[in-house]
Chains A and B, each alone.
Chain A
Amino acid sequence: DTEVTQTPKHLVMGMTNKKSLKCEQHMGHRAMYWYKQKAKKPPELMFVYSYEKLSINESVPSRFSPECPNSSLLNLHLHALQPEDSALYLCASSQIVAETYEQYFGPGTRLTVT
C-alpha cells in the first residue's frame, strides 16, 4: 500500500481565517513533506520532517505553520494567507534509508484564498 491521504480535498478561506490541512500515511515512512504546486508548474518543497522533527524549511512565510504530531500524521496550519497562496498543497512521505528517496504523494488539497 503506497497511499497518502489528504483532507480536505478543496478549501476556500478568507485572508483572516485560520484553517488546517491534514495528511496521513500508514506505510511506516519516517520522512514527510509539504509541497506547494501552482498551475502548470512543478511541486515546490516547503517543509520536510524526519523522525517527527522539522529538518528542512525552505524559507516559507510564517503564515504557514507545519506540525507533525506523530509518525503517521502531518498538519499544515494556515493563518492570514494572501490570494497568491492559492495553490495545490501536496503531502508526500518516504522512508529514511541511505540513498532511498522514493517519495509518494497524496492527492493534494486545492486551496483558494479569497
Chain B
Amino acid sequence: GENVEQHPSTLSVQEGDSAVIKCTYSDSASNYFPWYKQELGKGPQLIIDIRSNVGEKKDQRIAVTLNKTAKHFSLHITETQPEDSAVYFCAAPLEYGNKLVFGAGTILRVKS
C-alpha cells in the first residue's frame, strides 16, 4: 500500500521568508497529491493539489512541485505571513477507491 513521509515535522520562519515542506510517496501509480492546511480547532482545508501530468502548479503565494521519478512533491509558500501558521498535511491516494493516505504533518510557525 501507499506510504507517505513528510518533513520537517516543525518549521519556524520569519515573516516574509519562504517555507518549503517535502513529502515522499511509495506507490508509483499515485497520480494525485493534495495539500491541506489545518488551523487550530478547525478541519483540514484543501489549499492546493497537483496531478501527475504536470510538474508544478501555483496559486498566488503557494506552489506545489512534483518529481515523479524521485516520487516526491513539495509545498512552497513565499512571503509568509503570520496567518500561514498552521499544521500542513500532504496526502496521496491508495490504488483503489477514494482513500487518501496522509503524511504525519508539519507545524509551521511564522514569527512576526
1/0 per position for A100-111, CB-CB distance to B under 8 A? 111111111000
Q: Tally A residues with Cβ within 8 Å of B.
A: 27
Whether the pair A45, B100 counts as a contact (CB closer than 8 A) is yes
Tell me if A106 and B43 are in contact (CB < 8 A).
yes
A31 at the interface (CB under 8 A from B): yes
Q: Is A56 an interface residue (CB 8 A)?
A: yes
The answer to the question of A8 belonging to the interface, with a C-beta cut-off of 8 Å to chain B, is: no
| A48 on the B face (CB < 8 A) | yes
Contact of B102 among A43, A55, A94, A106 (CB under 8 A): A43
**Residues 95-112 of chain B, each 1 if its beta carbon lies under 8 Å from chain A, else 0:** 001111011110000000
Residue of A31, A103, A106 touching B46 (CB-CB under 8 A): A103
From B42, B100, B105, contact of A101 by CB (8 A) = B100
Q: Closest Cβ of chain A: how far from B104's Cβ, in Å?
A: 6
A43/B51 in contact, CB under 8 A: no
Write out the residue numbers on chain A whose beta carbons fall within 8 Å of the beta carbon of B51: 99
A107, B104: Cβ atoms closer than 8 Å: no
B31 lies within 8 A of chain A by Cβ:
yes
Q: Give me 23 A-to-B residue pairs in the complex whose CB atoms sit less than 8 angstroms apart, sorted by A's number.
A: A4-B43, A40-B105, A41-B105, A42-B103, A43-B44, A45-B100, A48-B98, A50-B97, A55-B97, A56-B97, A56-B99, A90-B43, A94-B98, A99-B31, A100-B32, A101-B93, A102-B34, A103-B34, A103-B46, A103-B98, A105-B36, A105-B43, A107-B42
Interface, chain A (partner B; CB < 8 A): 2, 4, 6, 31, 33, 40-43, 45, 48, 50, 55-56, 90, 94, 96, 99-108
Footprint of A on B, CB under 8 Å? 31-32, 34, 36, 41-46, 49, 51, 89, 93, 97-100, 102-105
The 7 closest A-B pairs by CB, nearest first: A42-B102, A105-B43, A107-B43, A105-B44, A108-B43, A101-B32, A101-B93
